[in-house]
Amino acid sequence: MFTFGSFFLLNLKLKSCPNFRRALPQTSAPLPLPVYRSCSLDNLSVNDSVALSDFLEQGGIVVDLRNADERSPPPQQTPQQTNRILHRPLLYPDRLWPKIESQLTIREKLICGFPGPLLSPRRWNSMLYRALEKGGLMLLYKTILETSEVEIAAVLNTIVAAESGVRAGELPEGQGSHRPGFNAAGNIVRGFIRR
Amino acid sequence: MLLAILFGDSSDVEIIDEYSKSEALLEAKPFPKFDPDKLDWSKFSGTPLSVGVATMDLINEKGRDEWLYSIGVDRVAVKAWKARHSSHFERH
């Protein structure tokens, strides 16, 4: 049944967030699925913050895929319904850096005085940072796909369940069931990944 | 991108095209001061088309749906979702 609520969920616009948009390709007949994407919702205008709060009131949720290191300083405008903001980071340092380390050449390791972590942790870490920066977004995506499969599946399951309007008690463990008031009809996927 | 694959209603070209829109929508930011002790996240901003193509290749290599279901995506829930929107899929 078409309701004002469903119209609202499908037509959310946040002007202060430049790349906020529907997450699925908008073909001639877009899927009736209110999933959006954004690089960040940290610095919304007052109007957009109100619009987002209304969205959350209508049953929407925010899934934040960033880890703590990627987040901005404290947000200026924060929706009040924080129980509808789910933090589901996809990047874990304890998995990321061993993966990057495994891709270093012997020469690169020797330059850092292998075993670098013991002799010069700072120099070693810097080497890993530069290696990831050099590999860029593709290396980051590849590493996430290879090291965060469980988390990726959990996020996708959360979205499918949310769109279904599943109530909190019906969600399997790890899919948002510990979040009170979780009965989502729409979703915002916050930046897969950092866009 | 993974969502679009999961819901199976878009071609690779459509998915990649949508994925790369951020490149134009995001404003260029000034380069941060180099700090050797930190990861420079600005190196990962934007969404180059080439990365979209390469990521899609990587996922296709794994076998799109097969990979998603193998990592734990709920096949039954996705099937139920598609059934609820069957009229959309029948039209296209």
| Range with the largest mean pLDDT of A20-34, A156-170, B27-41, B64-78 | B64-78
Is this prediction's ipTM beyond 0.85? no
Query: Residue A59's Cα: distance from chain center in Å?
Result: 19
- Say if residue B30's pLDDT is above 70: no
Closest CA of chain B from A38, distance in Å:
9
- The average confidence (pLDDT) of chain B is 78
Quote the pLDDT of residue B29: 64
Distance between CA atoms of residues B9 and A25, nearest Å: 9
Distance between CA atoms of residues A57 and A145, nearest Å: 33
Closest CA of chain A from B16, distance in Å:
9
Tokens of A191: 């930046």
Whether the model pTM is above 0.90: no
Cβ B72–A154 below 8 Å, yes or no? yes
Mean pLDDT to the nearest integer, A161-171: 51
Mean pLDDT to the nearest integer, B58-81: 89
Taking contacts as CB-CB distances below 8 angstroms, the residues of chain A near B78 are 160
Taking contacts as CB-CB distances below 8 angstroms, the residues of chain A near B58 are 141-142, 145
Q: Are A25 and B14 in contact (CB under 8 A)?
A: yes
Cβ B26–A126 below 8 Å, yes or no? no
- The average confidence (pLDDT) of chain A is 71
Confidence of residue A181 (pLDDT cuts 50, 70, 90): very low
Residues A118-149: pLDDT tens digits? Answer: 667 788 888 889 999 999 889 999 999 999 99
B59 interface with A at CB cutoff 8 Å: yes
